[in-house]
Structure 1
């Protein structure tokens, strides 16, 4: 029986769905599956507020939640909410945690609604209208959640009904495909997609592709990627330098010469702009579909923690940190930074756009801290930039993530074995800490959060010191 979740997976990668169905012991649950589960969890949070709102309506009895439709052991759908109309028709409501209606892969909400409509129709119901309920991006919490202001009921009847014929054909194709007892498992349709859009089981279906391939080239998509695939040129040694962009060329060069690509002038230019003391700064944030703190909006990335390593010109290294122990606007965090960050010296982050965006948001939230926060923005440089064009090792596999760079350039420092080892786990950990009734467990989770964030900035220090040795070593050799 084809469910809505299965159908959306089929649209993204048919063979991935087949593998999940016929070989569940081989199938890998990866980032796509984890993200789908996150969306479902957030959707239930939003549904609670939809229920509260509907209970106030004079026609509340006409509405029901999680109604199921089945058709001849072929289709199964569960409508988030539906309305029984006086004329015997129904209105279908898809409840989403997004702040707009998504109309493209990998999570096409209009296709979601079209599948629901077809399943309901085949089960004998007549669908009058189709709505997508989503969050209002302009809603700012002020006291108790106001579902009237929080929720937007988008009437998508015209767009969804315009997709029904196409969706019918796709459903038929999915049902027929799942009847196949065996398929060619040597490739999948994700070959024509960039690496960030690959299915969770890409490696299973494309095992002939080497570890370092055209998918190691960042921002490779569209016609250029399609041409390489059509021509069977998947290995990096099959690609000419002039065929790729300026940012892709260092990766190709590093692969072809079997040594890191190093542009000393680029690195020296980065270091030459720095002034001591150096403040290595990292935020951890918490975001939720439903704002948990007054003054915040849906999915706002609210800083809850910082780690700061301060490297002085004489080599002295200091560390400072802050972690919120309750849900609150991050004024205490800003004040803690004010106490330890002076008015001179460069602020170094990894992917500075993230930290700077948070500083700009906090400057709006706390006008009296505006000068301090915007001064941080002006002084912030991005250590990640060095690893785009200054130092590129093929072992980064086309990534500039600190998790990819660190084990290559500073192999003695690692995130392995940590209870919390990434930003998503940090969000979950902070939420768990807040709701933990056992004081001992609360302390344990708190310590894990501090250790993770501290390692982020220590990693930046050590990576920066590695970069310094590249320049000082070249001068010695001269």
Structure 2
């Protein structure tokens, strides 16, 4: 679809940029152009992406507590002049040790600095400052250095002296022992002044290129590709790919280097890939585009022992640990679902959800051990359940024997399907969200309020730690239970349909 835009008017005034717009421009000039001139074409963030954004805001607020004498600029992000004036007033107050969300503008770029810390200099000397960017990540990434390069360019251009440029992030070595969190240990502050200075030398050239591009009457002609997904998912992906064929070459799974080589050969669809091209097993299946069933599928599916349990667990990973002897982002199990199929074909369902802001793991473990009993295979769809079970076996010695026995009964359906079955509707993905509707069209996730693990974790956090309205809490709880139950019912139905298909092939 052509971009419907007449371009900037003849009396065009260059748009004001921000650090986020600058980073968009580094990822793709077309993304920046559309963000400035046609923002309505963007796809809104999904629930999982929004949860990550919300976590970033929460971590930023938490980081401010490391600087108890700091003051927040109250003017909002759309109140440019007010924010700049308020920042200037706070910087002139010698009693303020740090300014949060400080606003600066230079060279047509407006930035808001997470933490702008005053550095104490000698008597009579003008102050210098430490620029600190806060991230919810656990390490310094290249994109963070680019972020700081534009911030420091603007701050220095505004006439302020920087003593250091730093990134403040979560330190996963921190072990929470209860009581008040130790914010000094939770956050690590790394001085990245040198690598940022190296990138700052490219800022002027990059800005000039972006401004020149934005003055054009139409967006640049840039083909969608691997850059659309790194370092972030581009919100214009759907817009830019709406007219691509269903068998577009970029839909080939696996290493994108192969896709790049094929594109350079002029190949635009998967069906055009020449015979003899070196492809991985999954890429070959996608190219063949036919349903495939291994002769070994049926005996493998019949190797389970009854009663067959179908287990899915859900976890929450807290940046700020809430329970003693846990670390930031440690997976904390809070929910499970178990569909139990007996040899007669009868299916029953058991489930658990810890719905309060207390340590969940002991109750979770006790209920799960009772539900799984001592007999029958335990079907899962990934190695995640085993990792959680073994983690708890080490954390709680009293459960070690039971969990070790449970781990021996686990039966992973994912590698079975990967090795012995393929359907064209998988489109190269073995995620249960792709496999289920392809194999069992009557069963999917589209009717659920929660449709993914990231969204489930975010909703659980909201239910337990944020939401006070009991009606809303009850609605979230119901949505969580339905989502987790769907995952285990999916495994029941997948096994049944696949066994039927394998039986028909073998007959």
Instruction: Give secondary structure in 2 for the equivalent of 1:264.
Output: coil
Which of 43, 47, 50 is the equivalent residue of 2:56?
43
Instruction: Give secondary structure in 2 for the equivalent of 1:361.
Output: helix
Which residue in the other structure is 2:23 paired with? Answer: 8
Instruction: Give secondary structure in 2 for the equivalent of 1:54.
Output: coil
Task: Output one character per residue of 1:178-217: Cα deviation in whole Å (capped at 9) or x when no partner.
Answer: 22220245x4352567799763323422444312333333
Range 298-307 or range 427-436, more displaced? 427-436
Please report how far the alpha carbon of residue 428 of structure 1 lies from its aligned counterpart in structure 2 after TM superposition. Answer: 2.9
1:153 matched to 2:189: yes
Superposition pairs of residues 298-337 of structure 1, within 5 angstroms = 298-327=328-357, 328-337=359-368
1:280–1:461: 8 Å Cα contact kept in structure 2? yes
Which residue in the other structure is 2:32 paired with? Answer: 17
Using the alignment, how far apart are the partners of 2:434 and 2:157 within structure 1? 49
Superposition pairs of residues 182-221 of structure 1, within 5 angstroms = 182-185=218-221, 187-190=222-225, 199-221=234-256
Which of 415, 422, 445 is the equivalent residue of 1:385?
415
Task: Output one character per residue of 1:233-278: Cα deviation in whole Å (capped at 9) or x when no partner.
Answer: 121111135421123212212x2xxx3122232x236325432222
Which residue in the other structure is 1:397 paired with? Answer: 427
1:2–1:175: 8 Å Cα contact kept in structure 2? no
Which residue in the other structure is 1:414 paired with? Answer: 444
Using the alignment, how far apart are the partners of 1:271 and 1:172 within structure 2? 61
Please report how far the alpha carbon of residue 467 of structure 1 lies from its aligned counterpart in structure 2 after TM superposition. Answer: 1.0
Please report how far the alpha carbon of residue 92 of structure 1 lies from its aligned counterpart in structure 2 after TM superposition. Answer: 0.5
Which of 465, 468, 475 is the equivalent residue of 1:444?
475
Closer, same or farther: CA 405–158 of 1 in aligned 2, 3 Å:
same
Please report how far the alpha carbon of residue 379 of structure 1 lies from its aligned counterpart in structure 2 after TM superposition. Answer: 2.7
Which of 253, 268, 273 is the equivalent residue of 1:234?
268
Please report how far the alpha carbon of residue 414 of structure 1 lies from its aligned counterpart in structure 2 after TM superposition. Answer: 2.7
Query: Alignment length, in residue pairs?
Result: 460
Closer, same or farther: CA 42–396 of 1 in aligned 2, 3 Å:
same
Closer, same or farther: CA 440–198 of 1 in aligned 2, 3 Å:
closer
Using the alignment, how far apart are the partners of 2:335 and 2:276 within structure 1? 43
1:212–1:397: 8 Å Cα contact kept in structure 2? no
Using the alignment, how far apart are the partners of 2:329 and 2:167 within structure 1? 18
Task: Output one character per residue of 1:100-128: Cα deviation in whole Å (capped at 9) or x when no partner.
Answer: 1122xxxx111111111111122222222
Instruction: Give secondary structure in 2 for the equivalent of 1:381.
Output: strand
2:295–2:506: 8 Å Cα contact kept in structure 1? no
1:93 matched to 2:123: no
Closer, same or farther: CA 175–356 of 1 in aligned 2, 3 Å:
farther
Closer, same or farther: CA 197–51 of 1 in aligned 2, 3 Å:
closer
Please report how far the alpha carbon of residue 407 of structure 1 lies from its aligned counterpart in structure 2 after TM superposition. Answer: 1.4
Range 190-199 or range 407-416, more displaced? 190-199
Which of 455, 458, 461 is the equivalent residue of 1:431?
461
Using the alignment, how far apart are the partners of 1:204 and 1:110 within structure 2? 29
Instruction: Give secondary structure in 2 for the equivalent of 1:188.
Output: coil
2:48–2:455: 8 Å Cα contact kept in structure 1? no
Using the alignment, how far apart are the partners of 2:117 and 2:237 within structure 1? 41
Using the alignment, how far apart are the partners of 2:468 and 2:53 within structure 1? 26
Which residue in the other structure is 2:76 paired with? Answer: none
Using the alignment, how far apart are the partners of 2:374 and 2:175 within structure 1? 33
Instruction: Give secondary structure in 1 for the equivalent of 2:25.
Output: helix
1:306–1:453: 8 Å Cα contact kept in structure 2? yes
Which of 200, 203, 207 is the equivalent residue of 1:171?
207
Please report how far the alpha carbon of residue 425 of structure 1 lies from its aligned counterpart in structure 2 after TM superposition. Answer: 2.7
Please report how far the alpha carbon of residue 230 of structure 1 lies from its aligned counterpart in structure 2 after TM superposition. Answer: 1.6
Task: Output one character per residue of 1:25-66: Cα deviation in whole Å (capped at 9) or x when no partner.
Answer: 2222346x963x545432332333333222279x98322111
Instruction: Give secondary structure in 2 for the equivalent of 1:322.
Output: strand
Using the alignment, how far apart are the partners of 2:48 and 2:304 within structure 1? 40
Which residue in the other structure is 1:344 paired with? Answer: 375
Aligned residues: CA RMSD:
2.5
Task: Output one character per residue of 1:290-316: Cα deviation in whole Å (capped at 9) or x when no partner.
Answer: 123222221222111100011122222
Please report how far the alpha carbon of residue 12 of structure 1 lies from its aligned counterpart in structure 2 after TM superposition. Answer: 1.9
Using the alignment, how far apart are the partners of 1:128 and 1:78 within structure 2? 18
Using the alignment, how far apart are the partners of 1:208 and 1:444 within structure 2? 39
Structure number with larger C-alpha Rg: 2
Which of 93, 100, 110 is the equivalent residue of 1:65?
100
- Unmatched tracts of structure 1, length 5 or more: none
Using the alignment, how far apart are the partners of 2:204 and 2:404 within structure 1? 53
Give TM-score, length-normalised by structure 1: 0.89
- Unmatched tracts of structure 2, length 5 or more: 1-15, 71-93
Closer, same or farther: CA 353–168 of 1 in aligned 2, 3 Å:
farther
1:78 matched to 2:117: no
Range 7-16 or range 316-325, more displaced? 7-16
